Amino acid sequence: MRAAVLDGALIGQFSRVPPRRALPGFGLTMGYTLLCLGLVVLLPLSALFLKTATLTWHQFWQTVTAPRVVASYGLTFGVSLLAATINLFAGTLVAWVLVRYPFPGKRLVDALVDLPFALPTAVAGIALTALYAPTGWIGAPLAELGIKVAFTPLGILVALVFIGLPFVIRTVQPVLQDLDREYEEAAISLGASRWQTIRKVVLPTLAPAILAGYVLALSRAVGEYGSVIFIAGNMPFVSEITPLLIVTKLEQYDYAGATAIAVVMLLLSFVLILAINLLQRWQSRRGQ
């Protein structure tokens, strides 16, 4: 019933402007698309907001501002921002090396970059935990230096860097490939140094792609669950991420509580991504 109303509204919204020559199948494919979208995505997501509405404002506020929950927002968003920032610099460097410098085995390395997309997150989680545990290949030497990675927020950072690794590389790579080197040569023939050329000519061209990759890596990191829970240690107030709190509430059959936290998390990441996009628009307007 609700689906029919929803789809009706959407079909009205997407009413068709007649094309020059009609290909067949618009009604069928559009109807099927809206039906699937409504039933699989929109209708279940709307349940999130309707469930939250069953709480009074006071209950909602108490749930989402409980000290343990607030600590988890700080951790989740703080470590996600840090991981995405690391990927911003490392990803730009890797894209630059992959496009500009020749080295043997490039095709293999290029294919391997997508590994975090293809490797199930649970596998990444236990592999990274085994590596960075105090007895692991990387964890043992670090432990001798007094650095604990696994079962601390630092471990979460490692997992989120892994998960977000391909995003910046894959957004920057095609732009860099299409970048005409004549601009760089023009800058140099006008007397700019190599470093000036990169800073004033190359980086501004890449900036939108870098930022797009950053936003993708960030939004992936904020919601990430599988790879983090193994390595995090999951100590309340210290290394407990927001998605885990949602699962914990669900396991206690506190559906409304879980939903309230999920809504806040969605809103926070929406605001964050909006802010980054606005910042970028403001920056590019100032640059003109």
Partner 1 sequence: MARGHTFVATRANTEPRWMRIVLTVIALGFLAAFLVVPLAAVLVEALRKGWATYLAALVEPDALAAIKLTLLVAGIAVPFNLVFGTAAAWAIAKFEFRGKQLLITLIDLPFSVSPVVAGLVYVLVFGQQGWLGPWLRDHDIKILFAVPGLVLATVFVTFPFVARELISLMQAQGNDEEEAALTLGASGLRTFWHVTLPNIKWALLTGVILCNARAMGEFGAVSVVSGHIRGQTNTMPLHVEILYNEYQFAAAFAVASLLALLALVTLVLKAVVEWLEERGVAAAERAKKVADSSESAARTPVPADARAGQALAVA
**For residues 11-50, which are near partner 1 according to CB under 8 A?**
13-17, 19, 21, 23-26, 28-30, 32-33, 36-37, 40-45, 47-48
Task: Find the binding residues for partner 1 in span 191-250 (CB under 8 A).
Answer: 194, 197, 219-220, 222-226, 230, 243, 246-247, 250
Nearer to partner 1, 41 or 238 (CB): 41
For residue 131, the minimal CB distance to partner 1 (Å) is 5
Task: Find the binding residues for partner 1 in span 100-129 (CB under 8 A).
Answer: 100-101, 103, 107, 109-124, 126-128
Asked if 84 contacts 164 with a C-beta cutoff of 8 angstroms, the reply is: yes
Other beta carbons less than 10 A from residue 21's beta carbon: 5
Nearer to partner 1, 43 or 176 (CB): 43
Under rule CB under 8 A, how many of the chain's residues touch partner 1? 93
Nearer to partner 1, 4 or 93 (CB): 93
For residue 112, the minimal CB distance to partner 1 (Å) is 5
Q: Which of 243, 177, 178, 173 is nearest to 213 (CA)?
A: 173
Spell out the long-range contacts of 1-7 with Cβ–Cβ below 8 A and sequence spacing 24 or more.
Answer: 2/43, 3/35, 3/38, 3/39, 3/43, 6/38, 6/42, 6/43, 7/31, 7/34, 7/35, 7/38
Considering only 180, 190, 285, 287, the residue that binds partner 1 (CB under 8 A) is 180
- Which residues, other chains included, contact 122 with Cβ-Cβ below 8 Å and sequence gap of 6+? 226, 227, 230
Considering only 55, 131, 142, 201, the residue that binds partner 1 (CB under 8 A) is 131
**Binding of partner 1 at residue 154 (CB under 8 A)?**
no
DSSP 8-state assignment for residue 236: T
Residue 283 half-sphere exposure toward CB, CA atoms < 13 A: 10
For residue 178, the minimal CB distance to partner 1 (Å) is 10
Nearer to partner 1, 115 or 286 (CB): 115
Stretch that binds partner 1, among 65-73, 144-152, 262-270, 276-284 (CB under 8 A): 262-270
Q: At what angle do helices 203-223 and 67-100 cross, to 10 degrees?
A: 140
For residue 216, the minimal CB distance to partner 1 (Å) is 8
Distance from C-alpha of 280 to C-alpha of 53, rounded to nearest angstrom: 34
- Which residues, other chains included, contact 39 with Cβ-Cβ below 8 Å and sequence gap of 6+? 3
Q: What is the DSSP string of 172-197?
A: HHHHHHH--HHHHHHHHHTT--HHHH
Q: What angle do CA 17, 22, 23 make, to 5 degrees?
A: 120
For residue 125, the minimal CB distance to partner 1 (Å) is 8
For residue 187, the minimal CB distance to partner 1 (Å) is 9
Stretch that binds partner 1, among 77-85, 140-148, 205-213, 265-273 (CB under 8 A): 265-273
Nearer to partner 1, 66 or 130 (CB): 130
